[in-house]
Amino acid sequence: MEKNNRSDKKINAKDLLQLLSSQWATTEDVMKIGGVGRDKALDIKNEIKENLEEQGYRMARKLVPMEEVVRYFKININYLKKISGEK
């Protein structure tokens, strides 16, 4: 049994784009996107949440905006589209 529930599977560009198309990200989404375990994903979500709350936003308890997850991981969506063959 894995200690932190980290998935060692890599996600391909097409599947990543599909995941990124959601408006909100769960802990499991952050785990898949970042290739991190549950504890680290929760830390990332909390950091995103705190930053947004400092800017005056009110956040849902279990979700963070996918846009902020993309920003956190510095994901280049245009590059993903290019290598996945999507337009």
Give the containing element (helix H, strand E) for 19: helix 13-20
Nearest to 73 by CA among 54, 53, 45, 50: 45
- In a domain, residue 62? The reply is yes
pLDDT tens sequence across 14-46: 999 999 999 999 999 999 999 999 999 999 999
**Residue 11 Cα distances to 18, 20, 52, 55, angstroms:** 11, 12, 27, 32
Give the containing element (helix H, strand E) for 25: strand 24-25
Global pTM exceeds 0.75:
yes
- In a domain, residue 14? The reply is no
Which domain range does residue 68 map to?
24-80
For the chain, how many structural domains are there in total? 1
